[in-house]
Structures are given as structure tokens and as C-alpha cells.
Amino acid sequence: MNKSPELILAIESSCDETSVAVVKDGHEILSNIVASQIKSHQRFGGVVPEVASRHHVEQITLCLREALAEAQVTPAELSAVAVTYGPGLVGSLLIGLSAAKAFAWAHELPLIPVNHMAGHIYAARFVAPLEFPLMALLVSGGHTELVYMKADGEYEIIGQTRDDAAGEAYDKVGRVLGLTYPSGKEIDQLAHEGEDVFHFPRAMINEGHFDFSFSGLKSAFINLVHNGEQRGETYSKVDLAASFQASVCDVLITKTLRALKEYPVKQLIVAGGVAANQGLRVGLTQALAESDLTTELLIPPLRLCGDNGAMIGAAAHVQLQKGDFADLSLNADPSLSFQEMA
Ligand code: KG4
Ligand code: ZN
């Protein structure tokens, strides 16, 4: 383990991306192979767990070999194997976990158990060193959370969604607009051509806590479109997208800024698939610039916002330093939360 440099092989398979990366010293990507199976799920309008597991089985060994080859690293040079053990789909998680355990056992390497959401936060480590305390706005297909971190590996959820996650809301209204799954990116693009003419509700925006709710917005959107259809009216797709996005971004930005005032931090990290959203990126940058806060904004590049192995390697680096290892009895934990790790 005292080998230099530190090289972590990191495996991610929690949902519909099989990914393996080799990360050097926690912040340098030597390889980051991502095999997306999204095309197989699109016709179902969402991820089918059984189909996802089968794809992971087909892809995992290929990704592993390719990640080592691209990084030009041999198993003997590795310091550890890291793997996502939750949250996610149990069948999907188990494929990555089994591969990681087998590899760690065969090559006598320590095994590092990584929380997928911690991985999303640590994707920001590829942009700049993290400075504490920091706040992370985690926005993905399954999560919407404000996480306060006093130090590496210490997570305190100060607010979270009470119903749908932001990405989930994007995907559900996308279906009503006839878009393919996942529709966040397309709605984001359409939104830039339209205007917020429908003024959808901004749930809990003025309430003192930091929780979110997106199911009311989703229902308001669906009802408007369906009622319109019944009257024979069709609304402009770009205006619907712009109005939906304005509501989501308004709530996320307003609450995040309020959280930054109550919890002074050095950095704000925006992470998860929805961190790719241009409206959110631009809106947050502007709101911070117009505020009297000096918080540094860190948003991973687009390719590191979605699920990938490199982010798991970055989070694992911190655990390796602390000696936070798992043995081969490590199991998948589909509903793993930060609280459980505390
Ligand atoms: O983090 P992620 O890749 O997977 C999960 O762990 O959930 O996030 C996927 C989510 C999907 O709901 C997708 O629609 C959303 O991220 N997404 C976006 C954008 N790109 C991806 N949502 C809004 N705007 C985008 N540009
Ligand atoms: Zn994710």
C-alpha cells in the first residue's frame, strides 16, 4: 500500500452505466471507461432492473480490461480496488461488487466500499482540491439533497426532497412531452428556446427549511398539458420546457443560496446528473456573483456529472488514506444513506 504513486481501480455499476476507471492520487484520471446501456432501456421509458443487470454482466470484464489497458497499469501496480456498494439497483450493484471482490481477492488488494452519492460529490475533486467546510447540492435521477461537509468523508444532510428527485421530475415530464428517456438534457436544450410563460408553482421556496418537493410541479405540468389536450389546445413545447426548468432552477438556486448564508462554507459543489443542466449552472453562477457570498463554485465537467468510475476512485482515495476498507463479506446496500455511514 505504500507503493507510489497511489493507483485505485474503481468500479461503478449502480444503475445503467457500467464504468471502470483508474485514478492516480485521487485527482488524476488515467482511464474512465463508461459503457452506457441507455438505448436498451429507452423503449421502456425507464431503467428495467433485470435488463440492467444482464448488461452489466456482459460489460464489466470488458470495461475492466479496457480501463487497465488505457491507463497502462498492471494489477500488480494497483494500490486498491474501489466499488460502489449503494445506493442503487441491487442486481446492478451486485455485478460490480462481485467483480471488485474477485479482482481484489485474486490480486491481494484492499477493497474500498464507496457510497455512490459520495462519488458524485468527489467528482469535483477533478476540478480543484476540496476546501472545507463545503456544501454540496446533489441533484440526480434518484436524489436531491443539500449536504454539508465539515471535513473529508463527513456528510450531514441539511435538506432533501420529500418526494420526487429533480432528475426524476425531468424524466417524468419528458415522457408527457413525448421525449426519449432520460429527458433532462433535451428539456434543458428546449428550455433555452422558450420562455417561462406558465409560471408553475415553486414548492416550499419561502419556507425556512432546506427540503424540496417536485411532485406538485410534475402534477401541475401534466395537468396543464392533459387539460389542454382535452380542449384541443397544444402548448408550445419550448415554453413548457422553459417554464418547468425555471421552476426547478428557481427553487434549487434560492434554497441553496439560503443554505450558504446559514452555513458559511468555502465551496459549493453541484453534483449528479442534473448538475449538467445549463440553466442551473448559469443561474447559480449568476446568483452567487450577485450575492455578497465569496463561496467558490465547483461543478464537475459534463462527462463527470453522470455516473462514472472516476468519481468513485476520487471518493475512495479519501477512504484509503483513512484505512476505511471492507472485507469480502461486503454486500450491496440499495438504500445506503449518508446517515448510515456516519
Ligand atoms: O446521476 P445520474 O447520471 O444517475 C443517477 O444516479 O440518478 O443522473 C441522471 C439524471 C436523469 O434523471 C437525467 O434526466 C438527468 O440526470 N439529467 C439532466 C441533464 N442531464 C442529465 N437533467 C437536467 N438537465 C440536464 N442537462
Ligand atoms: Zn448517479
Average confidence (pLDDT) per 10 residues, the chain, 342 residues: 81 95 98 89 84 91 97 98 97 97 98 97 98 98 96 96 96 95 96 98 94 97 95 95 98 97 97 96 97 96 95 98 97 91 61
Distance CA 237, CA 292 (A): 36
**CA gap 33, 18 in Å, rounded:** 8
The answer to whether the beta carbons of residues 135 and 148 sit under 8 Å apart is yes
Relative to the CA of 306, which ligand 1 atom is closest? 3
d(CA 94, CA 7): 23
Q: Which CATH superfamily is domain 7-121+305-341 in?
A: ATPase, nucleotide binding domain (3.30.420.40)
Mutation choice for ligand 1 from 122, 274, 302, CB with most ligand atoms inside 8 A: 274
* Ligand 1 center–CA 119 separation, angstroms: 15
Per-residue pLDDT, 41: 82
Pick the ligand that lies closest to the CA of residue 141.
Answer: 1
CATH class of 131-299: alpha beta
Instruction: Specify whether the CB–CB gap between 67 and 32 falls below 8 A.
Output: yes
Question: What is the full DSSP assignment across 219-279?
Answer: HHHHHHHHHHHHTT----HHHHHHHHHHHHHHHHHHHHHHHHHHS--SEEEEESGGGG-HH
| Protein residue with least CA distance to atom 16, ligand 1 | 273
Q: Who lines ligand 1 at CB under 6 A?
A: 15, 140-142, 167, 170-171, 182-185, 188, 272-274, 276-277, 306-307
Query: Residue 271 C-alpha to ligand 2 middle, in angstroms?
Result: 9
**What are the residue ranges of CATH 3.30.420.40 in the chain?**
7-121+305-341, 131-299
For position 200, what pLDDT does the model report?
97
Q: How far apart are CA 256 and CA 262, in angstroms?
A: 10
pLDDT for residue 3: 53
Give the pLDDT confidence score for residue 38 in this predicted structure. 83
* 17-24, strands of its sheet edge to edge: 28-36, 17-24, 7-12, 80-86, 111-115
Write the CB contacts of 270 (distance below 8 Å, at least 6 apart in sequence).
136, 137, 139, 280, 281, 284, 297, 298, 299
Mutate to test the pocket of ligand 1, among 34, 140, 253 (most ligand atoms within 8 A of CB): 140
Ligand nearest to the CA of 305: 1
What does the radius of gyration of the chain's CA atoms come to, in whole angstroms? 20
